[in-house]
Amino acid sequence: MASTFNAASGDGYELQMGRWSQRLAERFVDFAGVQHGEHVLDAGCGTESLTFALARRARGLRIDGIDFWSAYVDYARHRLQNADVGDARVSFAQGDITALPFADASFDRVLALLVLHFVADPARGVSELRRVARPGATVAATVWDARGGVVSHRIFWDTAAALDPGAIEQRNRHCTRPMTRPGELGAAWRAAGLTDVRETTLTIRMEFASFADFWAPNEGQDGPIPAYVGSLGAPLRERIHEAVRAAYLDGDPDGPRSYAALAWAVVGLAPR
């Protein structure tokens, strides 16, 4: 399997990660850039957060979005019917980032938002991103700093691991996914032969209206945390739910909370 992400439906992804990816997409475009009239690849497009962010920034774009999961591609196509993408020409297709269905040197800008840490062979994926980039084209990606940067996820995994030995392996896998540790993206870009490589961190904050809002995505089927929660028996699930609730409340009444989330980002140029 080319993807290690648990996928079920576009609605499920939106519940789990949609509002995060929409917010991060804006910061990512600030970093990676886009110019009028470019042909852009949104590799691992998911439910199209990056595609729509790009369409808002520049005129005359041609955007190809590709994702491993057909449910997400179907969701993106449906949403596109009612979306305002200006004069951009947008298409979505199912495909594998490690075997992109595009000719060499097809794109002016090749972007990957929140996908490489779920690719079973990320080095091959990066090689494919470079292959389809025209000489001098920008190739950029961003992934979560899973170990040290996403506060809400550490609240969940550290609490679960304290109550369930089975969660320790899950936490370890989540916090050490490929491309999520310092310098890994930059090293992968250089190994692929990309030039003028720059790395940074992108920071967003995510607001939750209440603990119910914080917990609701865990009840879905898309992503690592819902997959773990769904595997639990009722007694352990309730214990973890209540312990995470206590961590969310921090001794205060239930209500809004805001947590920081950091992502690693890299950009480079395809050699001329």
Stretch 20-30: mean pLDDT, rounded? Answer: 95
- Say how far apart CA 243 and CA 161 lie, in whole Å: 11
What letter does residue 253 receive in the DSSP assignment?
Answer: P
| Residue with token string 């190994």 | 191
The domain ranges of the chain are 10-269
Residue 202 burial (C-beta neighbours within 10 Å; 0-12, 13-18, 19+): buried
Strand ranges in the chain using DSSP code E only, listed in sequence order: 39-43, 62-67, 89-94, 107-113, 133-144, 195-208, 257-269
Looking at domain 10-269, its CATH superfamily turns out to be Vaccinia Virus protein VP39 (3.40.50.150)
Angle CA 44–25–12, to nearest 5: 60
Instruction: Say if strands 62-67 and 133-144 run parallel, antiparallel, or are unpaired.
Output: unpaired
In this predicted structure, what is the pLDDT of residue 152? Answer: 96
| Residue with token string 């209206």 | 209
Is residue 1 scored above 70 in pLDDT?
A: no
Instruction: Say if strands 62-67 and 195-208 run parallel, antiparallel, or are unpaired.
Output: unpaired
| Residue with token string 């809400």 | 152
- Average pLDDT of the chain is 93
Helix H or strand E segment including 79: helix 70-80
Stretch 149-173: mean pLDDT, rounded? Answer: 96
* Joined tokens for residue 74: 């179907």
Stretch 24-51: mean pLDDT, rounded? Answer: 95
In this predicted structure, what is the pLDDT of residue 5? Answer: 74
Determine contact, residues 204/193, Cβ cutoff 8 Å.
no
Is residue 268 scored above 90 in pLDDT?
A: yes
CA torsion sign for 33, 37, 43, 45 is positive
The pTM for the full model equals 0.93
